[in-house]
A and B are shown apart, each in its own frame.
Chain A
Amino acid sequence: AQSVTQPDIHITVSEGASLELRCNYSYGATPYLFWYVQSPGQGLQLLLKYFSGDTLVQGIKGFEAEFKRSQSSFNLRKPSVHWSDAAEYFCAVVVYNQGGKLIFGQGTELSVKP
């Protein structure tokens, strides 16, 4: 069955430190992968997506993610975190049934220390 796992429920980093959020997927076909961010009380905003080509994907707000097929991973990174990056982050994969729905991971809540 298709699934997405985000092993870290909550991460705290200091402002200016680097960040890596983990995402592992289980999907038989070529995956289309997404990272979304949700600020408190807000909807989901797309950070970046991967569907083919270069395995290192650049997104908005200085984020990037690397697709590693051998590890079934799509980890999100940022070299220097800003206080405004505090939010919840969701990894998701598109599946070909149910209208191309997204299957989401459980989310990782990021806190940023000053």
Chain B
Amino acid sequence: NAGVTQTPKFRILKIGQSMTLQCTQDMNHNYMYWYRQDPGMGLKLIYYSVGAGITDKGEVPNGYNVSRSTTEDFPLRLELAAPSQTSVYFCASRDTQYQETQYFGPGTRLLVL
């Protein structure tokens, strides 16, 4: 099991560019999440999905979009990059029950200049 994988590891974007952060899990988990981590702020939820074809907004969704066409993949799209989106992005997945562990990917560090 690879668990949760994310690509790329690091990316520099110019203001106004777009990109897709990839996330894949091989644990057959229905629930998947995108969080962003800013210094001193913990992690905040951007979007989540409870299964293929079902996504919804989290706490900080502005400037992002997601899709979930398969159980394994949950890409995060930035359409018009802004400096405020400079952050570390983590994808996570878990099994059905609330007490189940969320497994995190290694993260994508994004710098918008």
Task: Judge whether A104 is part of the interface by a CB distance below 8 angstroms.
Answer: yes
Residues of A within 8 A of B82 (CB): none
A106 partner, pick from B42, B49, B56, beta carbons under 8 A: B42
CB atoms of A101 and B33 under 8 A apart: yes
Q: Is the interface of A mostly helix, strand, loop or mixed?
A: loop
CB atoms of B90 and A43 under 8 A apart: yes
CB atoms of A99 and B106 under 8 A apart: no
Residues of B within 8 A of A99 (CB): 31, 33, 48-50, 56
CB atoms of A90 and B105 under 8 A apart: no
Task: Judge whether A32 is part of the interface by a CB distance below 8 angstroms.
Answer: yes
- Closest chain-A Cβ to B68's Cβ sits at a distance in Å of 12
CB atoms of B99 and A94 under 8 A apart: yes
**Number of A-B residue pairs having CB atoms within 8 Å of each other in the complex:** 61
Bound complex: CA A4 to CA B44 (Å):
12
B4, B50, B99 — which one has the most chain A CB atoms within 10 A of its CB?
B99
**With contacts A43-B107, A46-B101 known, is A98 near B40, CB below 8 A?**
no
Q: Which chain A residues numbered 88 to 112 have a C-beta less than 8 Å away from chain B?
A: 90, 94, 96, 98-102, 104-107
Q: Is the interface of B mostly helix, strand, loop or mixed?
A: strand
Residues of A within 8 A of B75 (CB): none
CB atoms of A90 and B31 under 8 A apart: no
Q: Across the interface, name the chain A residue whose C-beta is closest to B3.
A: A43
CB atoms of A34 and B42 under 8 A apart: no
- Closest chain-A Cβ to B9's Cβ sits at a distance in Å of 9
Q: Across the interface, name the chain A residue whose C-beta is closest to B40.
A: A106
Give the top 7 A-B pairs by smallest Cβ distance, nearest first. A104-B42, A51-B99, A99-B48, A44-B104, A43-B104, A43-B106, A101-B45
Inter-chain pairs besides A52-B99, A99-B50, A102-B92, 4 sampled, C-beta below 8 Å: A34-B102, A43-B105, A46-B101, A102-B35
Q: Which chain B residues have a beta carbon within 8 Å of chain A's beta carbons?
A: 4, 31, 33, 35, 40-43, 45, 48-50, 56, 58-59, 90, 92, 94, 98-99, 101-107
Q: Which chain A residues have a beta carbon within 8 Å of chain B's beta carbons?
A: 4, 9, 32, 34, 36, 42-46, 49, 51-52, 90, 94, 96, 98-102, 104-107
